[in-house]
Amino acid sequence: MPYPVAKHPYMLAATDGEPARRFYDIIVIGSGIGGLTAAVGAARRWKVALISKSVLRDTTTFLAQGGIAAALSEQDSPQLHLEDTMRAGAGLCKEEAVRILVNEGPDRVRELMEICPKFDRSGGDLVLASEGAHSVPRIAHAGGDATGSEVASALAQAMRSGSRVQVLEQEFVVDLLTSGGRCVGAVSLNLRTGEFTLDYASATVLATGGSGQVYSLTTNPAVATGDGMAMAWRAGAAIGDMEFVQFHPTGLYADESPIFLITEALRGEGAYLLNHAGERFMVGVHPQAELGPRDVVVKEMVKQMSAAGREFLYLDATHLDCQKIRQRFPTVYETLRDRGFDICRDRIPVAPVCHYMIGGVTTDLWGRTTLPGLYASGEVSNTGVHGANRLASNSLLEGLVFSDRIVRDLDRYAGASGGSARRLTIELPAPATGKNEPAQLADIRRRLQKLMTADVGIVRDERGLNRALGRIGSLLEELEPPGASPEEYELYNLITVAGHITRAALLRTESRGAHLREDYPQRDDARWKHHINFRLKGDRREGEVFGGYG
């Protein structure tokens, strides 16, 4: 079927008035750890704009509890970190990218600690935690279980303290601007005034985060609507590994959005997973029991829930020292208390929940996408370090390491590209004649999320995936071309991402890492030890599938 996308490379339509124009050396889109790191680094030399759809703190980074993985102790090493990452990635990690991650990671984390001095220490020594599939404790954390907010706040302060970054909050980047086969900036909608602006730059860095809102149950904030992946694909960049969506084992089982995540570090401190008979079901399933790789734990949880006919299991920390738990996990303790649970006395109902998009915009080792002038970092990117299943707490590290590499490459690229963007003319499509009503948009979004959760969720099969593809296409047919509302743009982006996740999941006829096919339960290295990428060729609206990217 044709991929569900807008019928033009730009969703934005022509307007009666001339949009305003702004000119920068570098545009950074997104304010998580990848975007903030890129902006702080690039501003040392270039005039930079950082554009955020919401406010700076409204990111997945800010919600991160666990910490940052890096080989920082004497009993650890980059080689050991590499082996753990490769093992978790189920045969699809790009080894050269992983080597860069683990070798450059320790220095990047130490530099971060100079900006953010609140990393937890004991007697002057850094406290390192254990998490799933790590062979040694290597997770540096700040504020107990508030690493994301501490790191994001420190980076934002470092960015604001300089004078070369223009911070543009509540501006929705609708499309990337392209000319002559390269990215020359972006077009943004000011959510306060309703005005559009054409933002030109020598280079653009996508750091827009993930797409968890494509599912009805997710730990991701409301802004995680896959905007960067969708706009990069419309602009002609390759996206890859879209079938690999990581579900976290311990989302709080509750009727809320986003779902509250209970950090894996709690299991690292000794908490158990129990079934409805009160049994530790991971013992004997994996040598590390509850700290096995996330895909292994989630698969067994699904099995246990199915056998019991229930939608949740239990996380049990009642046997642990309560004072230590309260000190180590203040956010978890207080949040659960507000919801009526005492983690020191109660078993906590948990269920797997959409948490992280492993795939994304395909990049090389310097964060360069297949579209010249466009870079990508963080969850929106597909560097190859995560393979088919991300190792816990490698995500913040990826944003640090590859944004630093992007900044180094910007010094080469931006300096050589010159200021030709000022002379470009962008042709936009005619405005839509129909109108999508707000209630209709909300209804289609809910139906899409339920569809993806039911048919393209944790466990998949051919019948459900084909059904999902057909229904995604039907949802698109209910819509008029987007007008000028952020709700329309988000929905089109979600539909675009959902179509690619579903199509890739249908193509990969095996089970590997986070991708579980009930009808193809075995891993098939002979046929599927390669990657699935999609990109547009010219004006064709069909996806191209090809294996591998180096």
Confidence of residue 544 (pLDDT cuts 50, 70, 90): very low
d(C-alpha 88, C-alpha 69), whole Å? 14
Q: State the average pLDDT over residues 48-52.
A: 96
- Which of 425, 41, 406, 427 minimizes the C-alpha distance to 203? 406
Q: What tokens does 212 get? A: 């968890």
Confidence of residue 56 (pLDDT cuts 50, 70, 90): confident
Q: Is the pLDDT of residue 513 over 90?
A: yes
Give, to the nearest 10 degrees, the angle between helix 147-161 and helix 95-115. Answer: 70
- Which of 12, 101, 6 minimizes the C-alpha distance to 381? 101
Task: Supply the pLDDT for residue 542.
Answer: 35
Confidence of residue 538 (pLDDT cuts 50, 70, 90): low
At residue 176's C-alpha, the angle toward residues 171 and 180, to 5°, is: 150
Q: State the average pLDDT over residues 129-142.
A: 91
Task: Supply the pLDDT for residue 1.
Answer: 36
Residue among 108, 164, 294, 368 flagged as catalytic: 294
Domain parsing of the chain, residue ranges: 21-244+358-423, 248-355, 438-528
What Å distances lie between residue 43 and 48, 270, 365, CA to CA?
6, 43, 22
Task: Supply the pLDDT for residue 418.
Answer: 47
Q: Is the pLDDT of residue 539 over 60?
A: no
Confidence of residue 19 (pLDDT cuts 50, 70, 90): confident
Task: Supply the pLDDT for residue 83.
Answer: 98
294 is catalytic: yes
Q: State the average pLDDT over residues 488-501.
A: 96
Q: State the average pLDDT over residues 348-362.
A: 96
Q: Is the CATH number 3.90.700.10 carried by domain 248-355?
A: yes
Q: State the average pLDDT over residues 344-369.
A: 97
């907010």: which residue's tokens? Answer: 149
Quickly name the fold that domain 21-244+358-423 has.
FAD/NAD(P)-binding domain (3.50.50)
Could you report the per-residue pLDDT of 225-280, keeping only the tens digit for each?
Answer: 999 999 999 999 999 999 999 999 999 999 888 999 999 989 999 999 999 999 99
- Which of 189, 179, 186 minimizes the C-alpha distance to 49? 186
d(C-alpha 245, C-alpha 376), whole Å? 18
Neighbours of 324 (CB within 10 A): 11
Task: Supply the pLDDT for residue 60.
Answer: 80
Structural contact between residues 376 and 415, judged by C-beta atoms closer than 8 angstroms: no
Please report the sign of the dihedral spanned by the C-alpha atoms of residue 499, residue 504, residue 507, residue 509. Answer: negative
Secondary structure letter of residue 95 according to DSSP: H
Structural contact between residues 16 and 511, judged by C-beta atoms closer than 8 angstroms: no
Neighbours of 211 (CB within 10 A): 32
Name the H helices within 329-460: 330-338, 394-417, 438-455
- Which of 89, 97, 101, 103 minimizes the C-alpha distance to 133? 89
Task: Specify burial of residue 467 (Cβ count, 10 A radius: 0-12, 13-18, 19+).
Answer: middle
Task: Supply the pLDDT for residue 306.
Answer: 93
Q: Is the pLDDT of residue 512 over 80?
A: yes
Full-model pTM: 0.92
Task: Supply the pLDDT for residue 547.
Answer: 33
Confidence of residue 144 (pLDDT cuts 50, 70, 90): confident
Task: Supply the pLDDT for residue 426.
Answer: 64
Structural contact between residues 76 and 129, judged by C-beta atoms closer than 8 angstroms: no
- Correct CATH for 438-528 of 1.10.3720.10, 1.20.58.100, 3.40.50.720, 1.10.390.10: 1.20.58.100
Least confident among 58-62, 282-286, 352-356: 58-62
Task: Supply the pLDDT for residue 381.
Answer: 98
Task: Supply the pLDDT for residue 430.
Answer: 63
- pLDDT, mean over the chain: 90
Query: pLDDT higher for 144 or 88?
Result: 88
Confidence of residue 3 (pLDDT cuts 50, 70, 90): very low
CB neighbour list of residue 439: distance below 8 Å, 6 or more residues apart: none
Please report the sign of the dihedral spanned by the C-alpha atoms of residue 294, residue 300, residue 302, residue 305. Answer: negative
Q: State the average pLDDT over residues 136-163.
A: 86
d(C-alpha 463, C-alpha 264), whole Å? 33
Strands 48-51 and 26-29: parallel
CB neighbour list of residue 199: distance below 8 Å, 6 or more residues apart: 21, 22, 24, 27, 49, 51, 177, 185, 186, 187, 188
d(C-alpha 147, C-alpha 67), whole Å? 5
